[in-house]
Amino acid sequence: MEQKIAEIKERIEKEVAATKTSKILFELKVKYILGKTGEIPALMKELGKAPKEDRPKLGKVINELKEWATEAFANKESEISALERQARYEAEKIDITMPAKRGGEGSLHPVSVVKGQLIDIFAGMGFKVSETREIEDDFYNFTALNTPKEHPARDKQDTFYINDDLMLRTHTSPGQIHTLKTVEPPFKVLIPGRVYRADDDATHSPMFHQMEGLVIDKHITMCDLQGMLDVLVKKMFSEGAKTRFRPSFFPFTEPSVEVDVSCFECGGKGCKLCKGTGWIEILGGGIVNRKVIENCGLDPDKYTGFAFGLGLDRIAMLKYGINNIHILYEGDLRALKQFKE
């Protein structure tokens, strides 16, 4: 039996020394010391069969073997786990100085691009930006803007009413009233924002964007509007762009005009974009109606002003050659990505 013990010890020594992984080491531990089937527990069982007088001595030797083996395994375990930890560190090492992988680059929505360009141009002329509310009441959206009760703009087919008095604003013009009622003239203000109308076809969407401009001071004339718009179209479209005023009607301006820009596609010769006319309509405007100034509690003999309103979606479509407004709102990145500044 002593020989067998020595032989087991020798085997453990050799096999443990040759082990490289904690998995195999554990298997050896099972084989030699764990459970009932391990070779060392088996020796203990065999002890019963040895002659009585040899048992104490043999028992001692077996116990020593067990202690020695337990320690040998423990040493090897810590050696292997240190190596394994080291190997894992090596494998998981990350180079934090390495440049990051770039995500796909986004781009501004065409309407945001146009809005940003216009704000830049107007800011250069001293305009401040003000965003007013999207839910309006009858007074701000219509009455104060001199839009009488029977006016077609009030038609329920055009306006999204919330109740008899409240509605989604149909234009950014109520922003004029908010400004006139709260800001001491003289001022120049731009009011960009969403507007809503029950209209839906290739060039109309129930939600779209406008930008209102309002200048209030003393002795403002149509020439001021014309001069400012000239600067605008040259910066926005091209140095050679010209403007043309056509008489029109809006309840809140008197006189009112519609403003065309010489076609930036053909330079005025006539093409598909300008439908052969050489001109493209870009906005409505005029001299602020006396009644509007009065409705806001100001003296129309003292203050005059001009106002204009333009469709941001329309300008984006003209600039980028988009023929269907819904392309702007379907959120198809393949389409939107093409319209970088």
The answer to whether residues 193 and 210 touch, using CB atoms and an 8 Å cutoff, is yes
Q: CA–CA separation, 195 vs 263, rounded Å?
A: 27
- Burial pattern 63-72, b for ≥16 Cβ within 10 A else e, equals eebbeebeeb
Q: CA–CA separation, 129 vs 306, rounded Å?
A: 16
Nearer to ligand DAH, 34 or 222 (CB): 222
Residue 308 is a binding residue for ligand DAH (CB under 6 A): yes
Number of residues that bind ligand DAH (CB under 6 A): 12
- Using CB under 6 A, pick the residue from 192, 193, 286, 305 that binds ligand DAH: 286
Nearer to ligand DAH, 250 or 264 (CB): 250
Q: Helices marked H in the chain — which ranges?
A: 2-18, 22-32, 39-47, 55-92, 110-123, 138-141, 174-182, 222-236, 290-295, 312-320, 333-336
Stretch that binds ligand DAH, among 39-47, 104-112, 227-235, 306-314 (CB under 6 A): 306-314
Nearer to ligand DAH, 38 or 285 (CB): 285
Three-class SS state of 135: strand
Stretch that binds ligand DAH, among 3-11, 53-61, 96-104, 247-255 (CB under 6 A): 247-255
- E-strand stretches of 14-133: 128-129
Write the DSSP symbol of residue 264. Answer: T
Q: Is the dihedral of CA 184, 185, 188, 190 positive or negative?
A: positive
Write the DSSP symbol of residue 173. Answer: T
Give the residue closest to ligand DAH by C-beta: 309
- Using CB under 6 A, pick the residue from 142, 250, 303, 339 that binds ligand DAH: 250
Task: Write down the least CB distance from residue 166 to ligand DAH, Å.
Answer: 19
The one-letter code for the residue type at 161 is Y
Q: CA–CA separation, 289 vs 294, rounded Å?
A: 9
| Residues within window 156-215 making contact with ligand DAH, judged by CB under 6 A | 171, 173, 212
Task: Write down the least CB distance from residue 103 to ligand DAH, Å.
Answer: 39
The answer to whether residues 252 and 173 touch, using CB atoms and an 8 Å cutoff, is yes
**Assigned token pair, 63:** 């116990």
Task: Write down the least CB distance from residue 94 to ligand DAH, Å.
Answer: 57
Nearer to ligand DAH, 39 or 224 (CB): 224
| Residues within window 37-96 making contact with ligand DAH, judged by CB under 6 A | none
- Phi, psi angle pair for 197, to nearest 5°: -145, 145
Stretch that binds ligand DAH, among 20-28, 92-100, 155-163, 248-256 (CB under 6 A): 248-256
| Residues within window 95-124 making contact with ligand DAH, judged by CB under 6 A | none
Residues making contact with ligand DAH (CB under 6 A)? 171, 173, 212, 250, 252-253, 284-286, 307-309
